[in-house]
Chains A and B, each alone.
Chain A
Amino acid sequence: MLLTTILCVPLVVGLLCLFVRPRALMEALNIAGFVGVLVLGVKLFHAVLAKNGAAVTEWNEFLRADALSAWMVLLISVVSLATSLYAVRYFRSDLTSGIATARRVREFYVLTPTFATGMLLVVLANNLGVMWAAVEVTALSSVLLVALYNRKTSLEAAWKYVMLGGLGLVLALFGTIFAYAAAISPTGGGAHLPSFNWSHLLAMAPQLNPHLITLAFVFVLVGYGTKAGLAPMHTWLPDAHSEAPSPTSAMLSGVSLKIAVYALLRFHILTTACLGTGYSRNLLLGFGLFSMLLAGPFILTQKNLKRMLAYSSLEHVGLICVAVGMNAPLTVFGALLHMGYHALTKPVLFFTAGNIHQHYHTLDFTRIGGGLVRTMPATALLLGLAAAAVSGLPPFGLFVSELTVLVGGFTSGHVWVSVVILTTLIIVFCGVLDKLAGLLLGPGHAEPPRETISAGHIMAMGWPLGALLLFTAWLPGSVRQLMEQASGIIRGLP
């Protein structure tokens, strides 16, 4: 019943928050719920390892967790927990300054667990149709979160997000149906429907209709690729990330983009098993490279902190897709490691951006000026550390994962791809550090009073960075084993 419980905990929290009155109780419920999901996620992690390559299944294989799903469950639970811890101070401060109403705050505490439930269902569902429906649930709940402030710009961002996301999801559904049709044509149908479970399709992969699978992957790539923010379908991404409340931006960027990549990966594994060629791999590589190349110039010329962070997410999602596309043992392992480290870093960046927004009431680099180290020392310190981490400086983990991908790329013969990756990483590195050096250390104009923030709140914001440092220095053998299993699944090894 482990998988069912993982899904039920956030769902129940979301439903309870519809009814409980006091805000403190809603906050406590959210935090307790996500602590629960994290504990269950760790339990699932051990259960999957104990199975030694086989998957944990429930409800007649309706729910299924292999190493890849278990890894994603861990990411979802960590980011959701960080979000719910940070949200407490964020929304209290919004309420006192009158930016958000009590009703909107309740909306947040109901929708965030719903969003998390949707993401958990995406990674735990075995049936590809159910996975599609779950992706749609995440899109719908996050759209309302993006529109939470009801400003003109946030409504615009939400509308773009829902229209592009809706379009993408219709295309993904089309692709999903093609994949199902590919499973029907060899058996000739018959009165009983074949199972639409991913594991079933993978087992019969050589018999799937190759034409339909080819077509299915294109549709799914464009569809879920929109949700993952791959260029050129990324245009909703900077808008939604910059207009959403900062806790939601953290969830969108930290984990929801990777959930869409996960959905893409399931189809990639299926397509490769059916066709036996590098078709889907090369497409992932191409779209990933394009996203990385596009992100660089936009970061260099960006004027808004959260939009810059959004483009940095675009770059990281691109890197993950490229690394999977290169398909060497090291690069795929590096991609999974990168997902994890990025999930620990990006939320902290969005949290600090949220603090800055509440203090300065703007995120525009020129209007803030600089001098954050003087006005908001604690936030500035965390922002500086997280920015160093996200641009790939040692001793933070992203340096290790990027290096792993690059070494894997060079040694597996993808020299040109690796050179391009290295170049874009350097461009983004310069862009992020240039912008943030000005923001943190530069001369400030019209400096507002110093921020007051308690040590507890700093802890609640910054603990993922501590975890990042810990897991960079010491990656437990069991985690490594899980990621090796997951990368084996992605590379189609038995």
Chain B
Amino acid sequence: MNTPPTETSSQFITLLASLMLVVQLLLAVQRMLVTNIRLFALQSLLLAAIATVVACVFGAWHVLVVAVLTLIGKVLFLPWWLERLVRRIKIGQEIHPFVNMPASMLICGALTVLSYVVARPFTSLERLGSNTLAVAIALLLTGFFLMINRRKAITQVLALLTMENGVMLAAIALTTYGMPLVVEIGIFFDVVIAVMVLGILVFRIRESFDSMDVSKLNELKW
């Protein structure tokens, strides 16, 4: 058994994790596409900060690698790439969700409560912070809701990415040191390539359909 995390660092991690959730809720109500991308960058920055705190407190150098990868990949590269894509395909900035703002806020709130209920039996297994697992599940569920609620292909990609942030938070919360380095690097490259593949598809959809509204993708049935 290694030394229990100090009170301060634990509280700090809880604070950062809850900030991630706040950013997620902002994403749910924010209407501008570019702001959405930047909010995702901010959320990833918070994740990188959590990983850095873990790395410093426990002296685990490989978690620092994870933090650096997150910083380069999800805070700098992917947002830059997505913004470039948005500029290149010249789409409108407005997002047009299916459910209006107050209702989606309420739904996200309900989903957060639900995830706290779901995570309750497992709180004893959390090794870092308190309720970080609940936050991770909340990110997963609200990300799922965001995905359903958005029409534009690119905002669905962002929703998928926030879900992935939730999973990475769960990895740190449940295991302290994250996963073995080879797995972390594998996941990192997969996510980056996934977003680029999605970008290619978004670009082609935009060219063929003259729109990015995925509700127009409705020809194939049965």
Contact = CB atoms under 8 A, between A and B. Distances in A.
Contact of B180 (A156, A158, A193, A302): A193
B145 interface: no
Interface string A391-423: 000000000000000000000000000000000
Interface residues of B, number: 47
Q: Give the interface centre of B125, B153, B186, B198 by most chain A CB atoms within 10 Å.
A: B186
B187 A167 contact: no
A66 interface: no
A247 interface: no
Contacts of B197: 140, 143-144, 162
Nearest to A239: B220
Nearest to B160: A166
Q: Give the interface centre of B1, B121, B164, B222 by most chain A CB atoms within 10 Å.
A: B222
A157 B214 contact: no
A307 interface: yes
B80 interface: no
A355 interface: no
Interface residues of A, number: 53
A209 B46 CA distance: 30
B194 A156 contact: no
Contact of A177 (B127, B179, B209, B214): B179
Contact of A170 (B140, B198, B204, B214): B140
A246 interface: no
A384 B182 CA distance: 48
Contact of B160 (A151, A170, A174, A178): A170
Interface in B191-217: 193-194, 197-198, 200-201, 204-205, 208-209, 214, 217
B65 interface: no
A493 interface: no
Contacts of A212: 122, 125
Interface in B159-180: 160, 163-164, 167, 170-171, 174-177, 179-180
B204 A147 contact: yes
Contacts of A188: 1-2
A315 interface: no
Interface in B1-46: 1-2
Q: Give the interface centre of B60, B140, B183, B222 by most chain A CB atoms within 10 Å.
A: B183
A152 B219 CA distance: 9
Given A177-B175, A239-B220, A137 B190 contact: yes
B180 A159 contact: no
B220 to A, nearest CB: 5
Interface in B134-171: 140, 144, 147, 153, 156, 160, 163-164, 167, 170-171
Main SS at interface, chain A: helix
B222 A180 contact: no
Contact of A157 (B127, B171, B220): B220
Given A140-B190, A160-B217, A189 B176 contact: yes
B160 A167 contact: yes
Interface in A180-198: 180-181, 184-185, 188-191, 193, 195-196
A211 interface: yes
Contact of A159 (B140, B171, B214): B214
A301 B222 CA distance: 9
A457 B34 CA distance: 53
A283 interface: no
Contacts of B2: 188-191
A298 to B, nearest CB: 7
Contacts of B153: 159
8 contacts: A127-B183, A133-B190, A143-B201, A157-B220, A166-B194, A177-B170, A188-B2, A189-B1
Given A132-B187, A193-B179, A239-B220, 13 more contacts: A129-B180, A130-B183, A132-B183, A133-B189, A140-B197, A144-B200, A152-B209, A158-B201, A174-B167, A190-B1, A196-B183, A243-B220, A302-B222
Q: Closest 3 CB pairs between A and B?
A: A129-B183, A133-B186, A181-B174
Interface of A: 127, 129-130, 132-133, 136-137, 140, 143-144, 147, 150-153, 155-160, 162-163, 166-167, 170, 173-174, 177-178, 180-181, 184-185, 188-191, 193, 195-196, 209, 211-212, 215, 238-239, 242-243, 298, 301-302, 307
